[in-house]
């Protein structure tokens, strides 16, 4: 049902749906939605994949779900610990199938900005920088990003600064899922709670919508997994469309 989706559930579930059987997936720093997506996939889907996170966890089973995706709690239950240099090395050698990397802006070609908003020499906002994005985006087999705000200031035709470019394939927002086709992001799914023309109106770059469909409803297992990860609604309360 359309009423099943919230901005929070739409982002986390559709991030989780990007994971494929047998993959090695990695979630980075400041990536709480991606962290939740990987933990949800472990609980909701029958197939196996290997989950690594920037805290050093390998297949962690955290007792408590932290708000930070870098929290040491994400090492609990791990059979091994990875350092940051090991993640970069594994990615550079083609060993990471799916990497979740955040951004402030993304353009229609799948490039991202995590550096500045405005002019580089006199910016309106100085952002924290790309971290490992400039290294991991070109070397990971697939990169997925997300924006909790779907607007023309976050999904843009021209970036204020190109921090990273490469193998970004998917962008998830509270109202849409874009997949790269022929070098540009194209609409794959949209949240059935909004009209297709609203997606276009709120997107700053042009995109192909041919073949796009309303997103499949959240399943009972996805719902149960999400509820178990956020029983008090604390994560959901922090995310608004």
The reported pLDDT for the residue numbered 2 is 46
Full set of structural domains in the chain with CATH:
2-231 (3.40.1080.10)
pLDDT in tens, 131-140: 788 889 999 9
Segment (H or E) for 168: strand 168-172
For 13-32, what is the mean pLDDT?
95
For 50-79, what is the mean pLDDT?
90
For 100-113, what is the mean pLDDT?
95
Residue 76's alpha-carbon distances to 71, 94, 144, 223, in angstroms, are 10, 26, 25, 24
Q: What is the rounded CA–CA span in Å between residue 72 and residue 49?
A: 21
Q: What percent of the chain has pLDDT over 90?
A: 75
Whether pLDDT at 241 is above 60: no
The reported pLDDT for the residue numbered 38 is 97
pLDDT in tens, 144-174: 999 999 999 999 999 999 999 999 999 999 9
The reported pLDDT for the residue numbered 30 is 82
Sheet holding 50-53, edge to edge: 50-53, 24-27, 98-100, 142-146, 168-172, 176-181, 184-190, 213-214
Banded model confidence at residue 3, pLDDT cuts 50, 70, 90: low
The reported pLDDT for the residue numbered 1 is 43
């Amino acid at each position: 049902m359309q009423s099943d989706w919230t901005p929070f559930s739409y982002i986390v579930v559709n991030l989780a749906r990007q994971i494929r059987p047998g993959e090695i997936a990695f979630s980075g720093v400041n990536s709480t939605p991606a962290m939740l997506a990987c933990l949800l996939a472990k609980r909701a889907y029958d197939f196996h994949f290997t989950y690594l996170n920037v805290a050093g966890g390998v297949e962690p089973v955290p007792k408590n779900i932290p708000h930070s995706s870098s929290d040491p709690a994400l090492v609990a239950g791990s059979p091994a610990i990875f350092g940051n240099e090991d993640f970069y090395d594994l990615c550079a050698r083609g060993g990471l199938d799916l990497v979740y990397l955040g951004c402030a802006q993304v353009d229609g070609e799948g490039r991202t900005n995590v550096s500045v908003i405005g002019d580089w020499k006199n910016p309106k906002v100085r952002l924290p920088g790309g971290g490992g994005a400039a290294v991991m985006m070109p070397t990971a087999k697939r990169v997925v990003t997300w924006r909790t705000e779907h607007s023309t200031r976050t999904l843009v035709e021209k970036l204020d600064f190109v921090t990273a470019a490469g193998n970004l394939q998917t962008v998830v927002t509270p109202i849409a899922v874009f997949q790269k086709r022929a070098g540009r992001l194209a609409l794959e799914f949209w949240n059935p709670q909004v009209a297709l023309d609203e997606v276009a109106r709120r997107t700053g770059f042009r995109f192909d919508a041919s073949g796009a469909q309303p997103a499949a409803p959240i399943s009972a297992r996805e719902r149960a997994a999400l509820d178990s990860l956020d029983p008090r609604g604390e994560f959901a309360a922090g995310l608004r469309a």
